[in-house]
Structure 1
Amino acid sequence: MAKQGGIYKIQGLRQRWIIYQVLEDMLYSLYAALYLGALVYYLWSTNLVYGLITFPIVFAILLSINRPWQMTDEKIAAFLNKEYPELQESSQLLLLPVDELNPLQVIASSKTASVLTDLKISHKPFAKRLITAFFFLIIATGLIWGLGKIFHIERVFFGPNRPVAVCAPGTMDMAEKVLPQISSVEITVTPPAYTGNAKRVQDKFNLSAEEGGAVSWIIKTNIAVKKITIQFIKNGEIALQSNKKHTEWHASTQINKPGFYQVSIDGKLSDYYYIQMVKDVAPVIHIKSPKQYTYIDAGEAQKVTINATLNDDYGIAASTIIATVAKGRGEGVKFKEYMLSFAEVFDAHKPKYDLQKLINLPTLDMQPGDELYFYVQAQDTHKQLSRTDVYIVSIQDTAELLSMNGVLSGVNVKPEFFRSERQIIIDAGQLLKDKDSISVEKFNARSNDLGIDQKLLRLRYGKFLGEEGEDAIGAPNNDPANPADFSNAAKILKEYTDDHDNAEDAGFFEPNIKAQLKATLTEMWKAELQLRLYKPQAALPFAYKALRLLKDLQQKSRSYVAKTAYNPAPLKPGKRLSGELDKIIQPINKQEIKAPADQLEVLKNAVNVLEGLKSNPALKQADNRTLRIANQELSVRASAQPGVYLSALNAMRRILLVPKANLADVNTVERALQKALRALKAMPSSQGTSADMGLSKQYYKNLQQANR
């Protein structure tokens, strides 16, 4: 009987494990459905069907992976043996038939069954993963709530500066207060044709419209009214037209500025409603390749590939490449402009294009020494143009690199190592010419010799960066054990330390010069590698690049000082030494400096009026005029920062409409005005001194010291 109870307990634990596993998969599926549904809701569509479809799909996938139904009683018994030592690893005996057990196993089985029946098994090992899944679900719910708040704030306050997703009717969830006479409102937003967006209808006064779009209002009232107008802040007002019963009113206008508006029914004003304008930004162009400065060395293909990405909120209409070829030097330079087009057709007006253009430089009549300047220009459907920076592609002139101009003159004599790279290039070119007339062994030997010359040149330049020459590695030095050098610590340290990387030795150059020297050594390494592999043709591009970097270093080491001459004004001999000074007068410069107008004077006066309203809530006529002027300034700030000043703007309107101001509204407006007022800058002034010249302070100081 005890054995049957143990078997039932094992089977109950198996069912509990399966239930926990299914619940865990269900929570993870709900976690995935919430995330995907929230992202689709905020970024693309307000339809919740995507989240509902995600839940069963993910749930089925997790069940097929975990397969909780495959859990067996033997695995549960193995788990019990591992977690509970008092079972003496005999739980699996309860699952075997009685007739298959020997007498010793029967005794152990009955003992294990009695222990298992009274054993209190914790749910934590079974529910551990379930608790983790529940914890992740709580985090997902909090993140989705925060994501909703962020998207809501962006759509309300930051929408005029960036494109946002188009809101469907009824999705503007800000609480609106409407006048009691209004039974319903229907606002139709018609975007401009170039946007490609469809017309949409909403039933809220707060609206979001594309720049230049048309907005029409249809307001229905529950009673007949005489007049309805829509008043814009600093943009005038429009009057609505009515039907014969004066219960349905309509008007339309074009939106070109963000701001706020109010609905006026027979003189009664509503709350402020915002107008969010979505601006059409210019196309954004990103060139992935080539780099802004590209050199084509000797031996490289004279081609350049332009990879560009174009992005626009409403679509790209056209894009071209404006290229200019510069030929010649100095005053004899000539320019020729080309307009190149991409192979892509822009009839579809897609918002993103990945473009590629291969330019064969010889087709533009470019030769070594010429330069290509180009930029990419794009136009969107609203005919807004944008362009990139200018990119430069230069074909290296090998004749100029190998020329001896400026080297043979006595004024510009450089050390030998500044000309060694040129000699290596000349010898490599001669070796390629002699390739067919000499044997393979001799060709390889000459190529290896050039590699040795390249190595020696590289080691020579490496000394400028503090590198160690190969001839100094392992070289014998004076014996430090000489008795005469017993106390010479410097000599001993020099023998047993490696000081070739001293910062003082390697710090003679500026960082950009050192970086260019390192790049030169890298190119020499590559050229030496190809020469040692008997490939002088492959080594030439690296050698040319190293030579070009060296010539750039030569130009940077030069200094030029222009000669100047002084040309005095011509003197009139007849007026010399005459002593006539009547026409020499003292120069007088008159300038009237007016103090700049204080733009915050209106707000300062309004703060004084609000302070008076705290003691006397009745608003005087002069104070009413002051607050109305401040109301205009406050409305401008509310258009730029509605989250800070919109509540104060509503409170100011209530103060102006009621005969006695409410203290809460006064405090709200005053706090907003204090935020708008800048802190006054401290003016320079002399430090005040006491009449006794600090004697009293010195007296008390000495008195305290005497009392110690």
Structure 2
Amino acid sequence: MAAKFPEGSRLRWQLRFSRAPASAVLVFFDGLRVPLAPGADGWTSTRVIATSDVYRIELDGQTLQPEAWHRLDAVKDLPPQLRVMQPDRSLSLVQSGQRGWALALEAEDDYGLGAATLDIQLAQGSGENVRFTAFSRPLAGQGGNARKRYAATLDLTQLGMAVGDDLIVRFSVKDRRQGSPNETQSAAYILRWPAEDAFEASGVEGLLKKVMPAYFRSQRQIIIDTEKLLAQRGRLDRDTFAVRSDTIGVDQRILRLRYGQFLGEETEGVQAAKPAEGGAEETHHADDGHDHGEQGAAAKKAPPSAAATNQAVLEEFGHTHDIPEAATLLDPETKRLLRAALNEMWRAELHLRSGEPKQALPYEYRALDFIKQVQQASRIYLARVGTELPPIDEGRRLIGDRSGVIRPADSLQAASRDDAPVFAFWQALDGGEPDFGALRVWLAAHPERVPDALGLKVAMDEAQRKPACQACRTRLKALLWPVLPAPLAAPVPRPATDGPARSYRELLRRERER
């Protein structure tokens, strides 16, 4: 009499009785009555069951086995499961001579796959002048109904993709559920065509930077990659291990140069010397071919006029840390923390490029700790904008006068909660008269809140039929326990006042009566 089936299935009952009744009805928990029709094959009936439920059989107006509820467990239809084979990363760069982009996807569903589409979005332009073009393409899969593989190749020329554009794709697969099918969307995958570096000659060649920054690896991601590489060390040969360690070292170098820009570094950033005992903040700059200060001028033995001219050129086109405006962006403490982070990054990069990721890991963690301190320090110097509150009237303090402070609309209101019937029913089970009707209404509106809704229905019916059965109420309370709402915060009563407090209140009262 019990059944387990996919939700939304049409069930058909076919019953035979040893003694032919005058009428037979299926009675469900919510009171719905489904009559059985007699025929050559016995008593039959059909009904579409969308959610789990329990029912009993009623013959000639009498319930057959009143304590026997039959379960109908509706199994929820799960959405399709996707696994993207190509591309193997969320961000890909267009390679030299690349004309197409190969995409591959595997999908499976418990009852069968439906339509599959590829959502495409092309982003063109830069800065604020970015325009998006979105369209979709159907995907044809190969395989059985429950498992298919989809493949497609996008022609970059046909799509109109050019230098500096981004191509964003997302897979979408539906199942064959009737009515409203389940749909699963994959994460977004980006194909980027990097913009070429532009140069401008005006006496001194300067590299023009694009407004949009590149996708840099974070220090936390470098730590994750290093730990993952160490875990796979036993399964990799020496050359592969060294290449992957060097790749992580390149990511560390790019991140170090990125943070070095805040200290005025240009290309190679900060290189750390051996730290002094007082801290790890002493650094030196790589030789980048520029003249630094009086030593460079003396080495060139230039006349004063030429030195002054060179210094002016450096201030205009040279190091960022020579510009007074850039030197005041960060306070000295933040600069010290950032310089210490760059030192640790340099040491981590040294060991990673040497194929020693295990020795680089402590430096990576210390660099991450310094970066966190820099981020927290930067929050201190944010401008605080808000309303200016009026000054406190000292003459009204400690007198108990609340006129003009509390408005009638500001009175406290009782909190309304949708799970109040559950709490009231729980309290009534301890010797009171529980409202089974209110709990039935709440259960019909929130079936997902109860771990075992069918078991709760059976326990409710048993407790309602046997009001004196304490064991029935105990079982019902055990099923209601996971559904009980969290207790609300209650006001704490004021403790009893002592002698001095009573005297102080009495003095205030006399002062008001004058």
Match of 1:386 among 179, 184, 196: 184
Q: Is the 8 A contact 2:175 2:183 kept in 1?
A: yes
Q: 3-state DSSP class of the match of 1:403?
A: strand
* 1:656 corresponds to 2:464: yes
Q: CA–CA distance in 2 between the matches of 1:303 and 1:517? A: 40
Gaps of 5+ in 1: 1-204, 415-456, 473-503, 524-560, 562-587, 614-622, 695-708
Question: Quick check: 2:270–2:343 contact (8 Å CA) kept in 1?
Answer: no
1:688 deviation in Å? 0.8
* Structure 2 residues not aligned, in runs of 5+: 210-256, 258-264, 275-283, 288-333, 354-381, 383-406, 502-514
494, 505, 508: which one aligns with 2:338: 508
Q: Distance in 2 between matches of 1:512 and 1:380?
A: 51
| RMSD value, Cα | 5.3
1:404 corresponds to = 200
How far does residue 325 in structure 1 lie from its aligned partner after superposition?
3.0
State yes or no: 1:395 paired with 2:188. no
- Aligned residue type for 2:414: A
Q: 5 Å matches for 1:386-465?
A: 386-398=184-196, 401-404=197-200, 464-465=270-271
Q: Which amino acid aligns with 2:54?
A: F
> Once the two structures are superposed, what CA deviation does each residue of 1:132-172 show, in whole Å capped at 9, x if it has no partner?
xxxxxxxxxxxxxxxxxxxxxxxxxxxxxxxxxxxxxxxxx
In the alignment, which residue of structure 2 is the partner of 1:322? 119
CA distance in 2, matches of 1:521, 1:397: 32
Conserved? CA contact 1:372–1:392, under 8 Å: yes
Q: Which residue of 2 aligns with 1:366?
A: 161
Q: Are positions 1:306 and 2:306 aligned together?
A: no
Shift of 1:670: 4.2
Give the equivalent residue in structure 2 for 1:224.
20
Tell me the alpha carbon deviations over residues 524-561 of structure 1, each in whole angstroms, 9 at most, x when there is no partner: xxxxxxxxxxxxxxxxxxxxxxxxxxxxxxxxxxxxx9
Listed one character per residue, the Cα deviations across residues 623-670 of structure 1 (whole Å, up to 9, x for unaligned) are: 4x7345446556877875465872x64454334335x62332233334
1:425-459 superposed Cα distances (whole Å, 9 cap, x missing partner): xxxxxxxxxxxxxxxxxxxxxxxxxxxxxxxx9x9
Counterpart-to-counterpart distance in 1, 2:437 and 2:132? 63
Superposition pairs for residues 113-124 of structure 1, below 5 Å?
Answer: none
Could you tell me which residue of structure 2 aligns to residue 667 of structure 1? Answer: 474
Using the size of structure 2 for normalisation, the TM-score is 0.52
- Determine if contact 1:638/1:645 at 8 Å carries over to the other structure: no
Residues 253/289 of structure 1: CA separation in 2 closer, same or farther (3 Å cut) = same
CA contact (8 A) 1:296 1:396 kept: yes
Hey, which of these two has a bigger chunk of helix by percent? Answer: 1
Q: How far apart, CA to CA, are the structure 1 residues paired with 2:184 and 2:343?
A: 36
Q: Is the 8 A contact 1:466 1:506 kept in 2?
A: no
User: Who is 1:179 aligned against?
Assistant: none
Change in 2 beyond 3 A, CA 1:413/1:378 = closer
Per-residue displacement from partner, 1:184-227 (whole Å, max 9, x unpaired)? xxxxxxxxxxxxxxxxxxxxx22112222110111222223233
Matching residue of 2:435: 626
- Secondary structure class of the residue paired with 2:11: strand
**SS across alignment from 2:431:** helix
| 1:372-419 per-position Cα deviation (integer Å, ceiling 9, x unaligned) | 122222233335443323322111222xx1323999799x999xxxxx
Counterpart AA for 1:388: S
Conservation of the 8 A alpha-carbon contact between 1:324 and 1:374: yes
Q: Which moved more, 1:370-379 or 1:328-337?
A: 328-337
**Does the CA contact (< 8 Å) of 2:272 and 2:347 recur in 1?**
no
SS, match of residue 664 in structure 1: helix
| Alpha carbons 2:271, 2:346 under 8 Å: kept | no
CA distance in 1, matches of 2:346, 2:98: 24
User: What secondary structure does 2:462 align onto?
Assistant: helix
Measured in 1, the distance between the counterparts of 2:352 and 2:168 equals 28
| 1:33-72 equivalences in 2 (<5 Å) | none
Identify which of 683, 686, 691 aligns with 2:490: 683
> Distance in 2 between the 1:521 and 1:360 partners?
42
> Is the 1:259–1:639 contact (alpha carbons within 8 Å) kept by the matching residues of 2?
no
Q: Which residue of 1 aligns with 2:305?
A: none
Amino acid at match of 2:465: L
Q: Deviations over 1:211-244 (max 9, x none)?
A: 2211011122222323322222337221112249
Distance 1:228 1:510, change over 3 A: farther
Aligned counterparts of 2:495 and 2:451: Cα–Cα separation in 1: 45
1:251 partner letter: S
- The structural deviation recorded for 1:301 is 3.1
Does 1:293 pair with 2:101? no
Q: CA deviation at 1:589?
A: 8.8
Q: Please, which of 50, 53, 59 is the counterpart of residue 256 of structure 1? A: 50
| Counterpart in the other structure of 1:160 | none
Give the secondary-structure state (helix, strand or coil) at the position aligned to 2:73: strand
Shift of the 218–408 alpha-carbon distance from structure 1 to 2, 3 Å rule, reads: farther
CA 1:387–1:465 in structure 2 vs 1: closer, same or farther (change >3 Å)? Answer: farther
Question: Aligned with 2:164: secondary structure?
Answer: coil
Mapped contact 1:289–1:308 kept (Cα < 8 A): yes
Deviation at 1:345, TM superposition (A): 4.4
SS class of match (2:485): coil
The within-5 A match list for 1:475-494 is: none
Q: Secondary structure at the match of 1:271?
A: coil
Q: Tell me what 2:8 maps to.
A: 212
Amino acid at match of 2:187: D
Which residue pairs with 1:466 in the alignment?
Answer: 272
Query: Residue 249 of structure 1: CA displacement?
Result: 1.9
Deviation of residue 253 (structure 1)? 0.4
Contact 2:270 2:285 in 1 (8 A): no
How far residue 300 of structure 1 moved from its aligned partner, in angstroms, is 5.7
Task: Name the CA distance, whole Å, in 2 between partners of 1:226 and 1:664.
Answer: 37
Shift in CA distance, 260/307, structure 1 to aligned 2, threshold 3 Å? same
Please say if residues 263 and 270 of structure 1, whose CA atoms lie closer than 8 Å, have aligned partners that are also in contact: no
Question: Contact 1:207–1:274 at 8 Å: present in 2 too?
Answer: yes
- Partner secondary structure for residue 275 of structure 1: strand
Mapping for residues 627-646 of structure 1, pairs under 5 Å: 627-630=436-439, 633=442, 641=450, 643=452, 646=455
With CA pairs under 8 Å and 6+ residues apart, which has the higher RCO, 1 or 2? 2
Work out whether residues 377 and 385 of structure 1, in 8 Å CA contact, stay in contact via their aligned partners in 2. Answer: yes
- Name the residue aligned to 1:489: none
Q: 1:339 to 1:610 in 2, by over 3 A?
A: closer
* Residue matched to 1:353: 148
| Superposed CA offset, 1:21-79 (max 9, x none) | xxxxxxxxxxxxxxxxxxxxxxxxxxxxxxxxxxxxxxxxxxxxxxxxxxxxxxxxxxx
Q: Radius of gyration: which is bigger?
A: 1
Distance 1:355 1:512 in 2: 46
Identity between Structure 1 and Structure 2 (%): 16
Q: CA deviation at 1:505?
A: 9.8
- Distance in 2, matches of 1:514 and 1:289, equals 36
1:528-607 equivalences in 2 (<5 Å): 590=409, 594-597=413-416, 599=418, 602-603=421-422, 606-607=425-426
Q: In 1, distance between residues paired with 2:343 and 2:92? A: 19
Q: CA deviation at 1:252?
A: 0.5
TM-score with structure 1 length normalisation?
A: 0.39
Question: What SS is found at the alignment partner of 2:26?
Answer: strand
For residues 431 and 27 of structure 2, the distance between their equivalents in structure 1, rounded to whole angstroms, comes to 30
Decide whether the 8 Å contact of 2:141 with 2:148 is kept in 1: no
Q: Deviations 1:680-702 (Å, cap 9, x if unpaired)?
A: 334232541453469xxxxxxxx
Aligned residue identity for 2:30 = K
Residues of 2 paired with 1:217 and 1:362: CA distance?
A: 61
2: CA distance between counterparts of 1:612 and 1:303?
Answer: 75
